[in-house]
């Protein structure tokens, strides 16, 4: 597997080789490498930073950090996940629909949304659902924060969730699904297990609920983890049909810890 560490090692080997070539080829050399040395240095730098940057947006590549994106199961088990709550208005609606079908889900909660909504966390927990950590601020600049600041956010969210429910989450989902070396460095200093998804519903962007529903069902496989959000119009108006269609297609919706065979909370 290509990881950031191996990739960086390879990059420096390339750089070292290029330097050696330049050193021993002599100034009289008129070969391609000598003549295009500046271009090659720039190209190497662009490739290094370009690939590292791009891979930050592909968490399931495990490039920057180990991430789980699906469960390994022989049965038709899948898991539902909802990000960005708790939401005073929308989260209760989601809970109602889940309750109607008696299916479990995992709520990746944002720490700053917890104040005043502690009762929702308790309700999520008491209804048999799981709670995960989705950072404290969910800032659009989260990935540019220092590792120390990211770690503080993760610990603060876990502290708030534990204060409300008595349980500290083990599962973490990065805001916007982005993981760079700083996020990875922070995560390594916690007990959190990063869990993303292999079916992105795009429920925050796509205004056509039929299409969102169709896209999810089309990609459904044993072990799938579906990314949804508490607060979208799709969740509000079409979650009912989605669950009905998933069950109708012969899949079982199970808790994330069951699908992954990993505890959802810290010991």
The residues annotated with a catalytic role in the active site are 83, 229
We find the least distance from the C-beta atom of residue 156 to Zn ion, in angstroms, to be 16
Nearer to Zn ion among residue 63 and residue 108 (C-beta)? 108
| Integer CA distances (angstroms), 219 to 12, 36, 147, 177, 225, in order | 39, 46, 35, 19, 10
We find the least distance from the C-beta atom of residue 38 to Zn ion, in angstroms, to be 42
We find the least distance from the C-beta atom of residue 135 to Zn ion, in angstroms, to be 8
Q: Which pair of tokens denotes residue 213? A: 């529903």
We find the least distance from the C-beta atom of residue 45 to Zn ion, in angstroms, to be 32
Tokens 């950031």 appear where? Answer: 4
CB nearest Zn ion: which residue?
83
CB-CB contact of 25 with 33 (8 Å): yes
Nearer to Zn ion among residue 65 and residue 173 (C-beta)? 173
Question: What residues make contact with Zn ion under the rule CB under 5 A?
Answer: 83-84
Nearer to Zn ion among residue 71 and residue 85 (C-beta)? 85
Burial (CB < 10 A; 0-12, 13-18, 19+), residue 71, is buried
Nearer to Zn ion among residue 84 and residue 143 (C-beta)? 84
Q: Which pair of tokens denotes residue 45? A: 């730098």
Tokens 């929308």 appear where? Answer: 90
Quote the DSSP letter at residue 249.
Answer: T
Burial (CB < 10 A; 0-12, 13-18, 19+), residue 181, is middle
CB-CB contact of 100 with 241 (8 Å): no
We find the least distance from the C-beta atom of residue 229 to Zn ion, in angstroms, to be 7
CB-CB contact of 181 with 4 (8 Å): yes
Q: How many residues does the chain have?
A: 267
Nearer to Zn ion among residue 97 and residue 228 (C-beta)? 228
């Amino acid at each position: 597997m290509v990881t950031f560490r191996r990739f960086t090692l390879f990059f420096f080997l390339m750089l070292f080789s290029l330097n050696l070539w330049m050193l021993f080829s002599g100034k009289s050399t008129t070969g391609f490498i000598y003549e295009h040395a500046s271009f090659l240095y720039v190209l190497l730098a662009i490739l290094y930073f370009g690939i590292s940057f791009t891979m930050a947006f592909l968490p399931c590549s495990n490039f920057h950090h180990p991430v789980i994106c699906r469960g390994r199961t022989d049965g038709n088990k899948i898991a539902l996940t909802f990000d960005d709550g708790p939401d005073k208005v929308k989260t209760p609606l989601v809970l109602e629909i889940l309750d109607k079908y008696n299916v479990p889900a995992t709520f990746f909660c944002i720490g700053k949304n917890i104040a005043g909504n502690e009762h929702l966390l308790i309700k999520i927990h008491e209804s048999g659902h799981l709670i995960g950590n989705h950072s404290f601020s969910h800032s659009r600049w989260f990935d540019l924060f220092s590792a120390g600041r990211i770690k503080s956010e993760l610990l603060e969210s876990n502290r708030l969730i534990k204060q409300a429910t008595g349980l500290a989450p083990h599962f973490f989902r990065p805001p916007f699904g982005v993981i760079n070396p700083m996020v990875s460095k922070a995560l390594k200093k916690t007990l959190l297990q990063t869990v993303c998804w292999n079916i992105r519903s795009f429920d925050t962007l796509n205004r056509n609920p039929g299409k969102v529903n169709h896209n999810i069902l089309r990609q459904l496989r044993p072990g799938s983890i579906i990314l949804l959000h508490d607060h979208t119009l799709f969740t509000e108006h079409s979650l009912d049909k989605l669950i009905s269609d998933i069950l109708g297609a012969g899949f079982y919706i199970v808790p994330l810890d069951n699908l992954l065979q990993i505890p959802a909370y810290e010991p």
